[in-house]
Amino acid sequence: MLKPIHKNILFVLIPTIAVCFFIAELFFRYVIPACEIPDVYFEHDNLMIRFDTRTKIKGTFTVGKFAQQQGEWRINNYGWNSDVNYVPYQVRSKPLIAIIGDSYIESFQVDVDKNIAAVLRKLVGEEYEVYSFGTSGAPLSQYLHLSRYVNQYFRPDITVFNMVYNDFGENLREKYNKPHYLQMSKIVGQYVETQINPYKPNRLKQFAKKSALIRYIWLNLRVSTRLTKIKRDIEIKIYKANIDVLKAISNKEEIIDVTSHLVEIIKKENLEKEVFFLMDAPRQDIYHGTIDSSNVKWMNDMLLDAFIRNDCHYTDLTVPFLEKYRTDSLRFNSIYDRHWNELGHKTAAITLYNSLVKEGLLYK
């Protein structure tokens, strides 16, 4: 049995903890708003993770311990972060530009009406519709899977694949295991598509996500990211553009090979539409003035070679970003997050629009 003194301590301690937790919940909801993210589920019909339209469809994604960077998100009728609802090809009246990508196209870091798709929609005016399909952590192989879904339901006239540096090594299941995404394996010298395993949300995490305090600790303070960084520092890894640079270089031949294979498949499966690739810039090298000695820009060159061989349209953001940075000295991502900020999305959208016009795919 508990001694009377212990009972008294618990009698005071438990209510005190409850009151402190309640105050913290209010504080991280209304003073420093904790990061909000939408619920996800696995859609078995299309074998993909989607945002759940049956729960909260609007919220604020915040970054930093004081929520210094904020983005308003909205989940539309098809379960994508977009300021417009989508309509299937059977009833759509305008030609469609579809943008496929990972968290850069998911774009929670900026307001939903200021991301690349929203800006491009304003640029093309009433002549075209622009839909975006972004899933965090998706590599190029998953973009192939997404394009099949997009073709089935929306039949775009132009499909834009937005490429970033971690889109390449993560295509290989043996190198980076992403069981809920389509990846590739090499068997007897041939690349084969891996099985996509259903994603099952962790109920404990779903429950914990309801707490603003827990979201603040995990997402705003980025506990997981900090622990990973400590581990990288111990292992003396070179980490840039969200990739382990030395690991990527050591797997360079395989990365080039599987990337070329995937680009070839994407082109073959989209012969009746225009395929356009947009490649991110080595922004850290741009900021530090080390663009000529960049240890990641070989991926830009690798893509260019693959696209030329497969007759794909391609634009590299390196030169537009470099020229704008030299002129304005403004970064394309905040100091709190590696993803594009509003300037990054706007510059990428303008570059994409000008490239589509230059290639004769759009008309001003």
Structure-token pair, residue 44: 């078995």
Q: How far is CA 247 from CA 50, 169, 257, 298, in A?
A: 30, 9, 16, 14
* 240/336 Cα distance (integer angstroms): 15
Percent of the chain residues past pLDDT 90, beyond the cut: 77
Superfamily of domain 80-190+222-358: SGNH hydrolase (3.40.50.1110)
Looking at residue 222, what is its pLDDT?
86
Range in 46-55, 81-90, 307-316 with the lowest mean pLDDT: 307-316
Q: Would you place residue 21 in the very low, low, confident or very high pLDDT band (cuts 50, 70, 90)? A: confident
Looking at residue 9, what is its pLDDT?
66
Q: Would you place residue 2 in the very low, low, confident or very high pLDDT band (cuts 50, 70, 90)? A: very low
Among 240, 337, 350, 330, smallest CA distance to 285 is for 240
Q: If you average pLDDT over residues 299-307, what whole number do you get? A: 91
With 0-12 / 13-18 / 19 or more C-beta atoms within 10 angstroms meaning exposed / middle / buried, residue 99 is: buried
Q: pLDDT for 130-145, tens place per residue?
A: 999 999 999 999 999 9
Looking at residue 19, what is its pLDDT?
85
Cβ-Cβ contacts under 8 Å for 53 (sequence gap 6 or more): 75, 76, 77, 78, 79
Three-state DSSP at 352 gives helix
Q: Would you place residue 228 in the very low, low, confident or very high pLDDT band (cuts 50, 70, 90)? A: low
> Locate tokens 């001694």: which residue?
3
Range in 13-17, 74-78, 137-141, 329-333 with the lowest mean pLDDT: 13-17
Residue 102 clears pLDDT 70, i.e. is over it: yes
Q: If you average pLDDT over residues 64-87, what whole number do you get? A: 97
Looking at residue 237, what is its pLDDT?
62
Strand segments, DSSP code E, in 126-208 are 129-134, 158-163, 184-187, 190-193
- Return contacts of 325-332, CB within 8 angstroms, 24+ apart: 325/286, 325/287, 331/283, 331/287, 332/281, 332/283
Q: Average pLDDT of the chain?
A: 91
Residue 236 clears pLDDT 60, i.e. is over it: no
Three-state DSSP at 339 gives coil
Alpha helices (runs of H) in the chain, residue ranges in sequence order:
4-30, 103-106, 116-124, 140-153, 203-208, 212-215, 223-235, 245-250, 252-269, 283-288, 298-309, 318-328, 342-358
Q: Would you place residue 59 in the very low, low, confident or very high pLDDT band (cuts 50, 70, 90)? A: very high
Q: If you average pLDDT over residues 187-203, what whole number do you get? A: 92
Q: If you average pLDDT over residues 90-117, what whole number do you get? A: 97
Q: If you average pLDDT over residues 276-286, what whole number do you get? A: 96
Among 136, 185, 160, smallest CA distance to 307 is for 160
Looking at residue 101, what is its pLDDT?
98
DSSP label at residue 185? E
* 140/161 Cα distance (integer angstroms): 9
Looking at residue 10, what is its pLDDT?
60
Q: Would you place residue 231 in the very low, low, confident or very high pLDDT band (cuts 50, 70, 90)? A: low
Residue 64 clears pLDDT 80, i.e. is over it: yes
Structure-token pair, residue 194: 């891996």
Q: Would you place residue 235 in the very low, low, confident or very high pLDDT band (cuts 50, 70, 90)? A: low
Q: If you average pLDDT over residues 302-313, what whole number do you get? A: 90
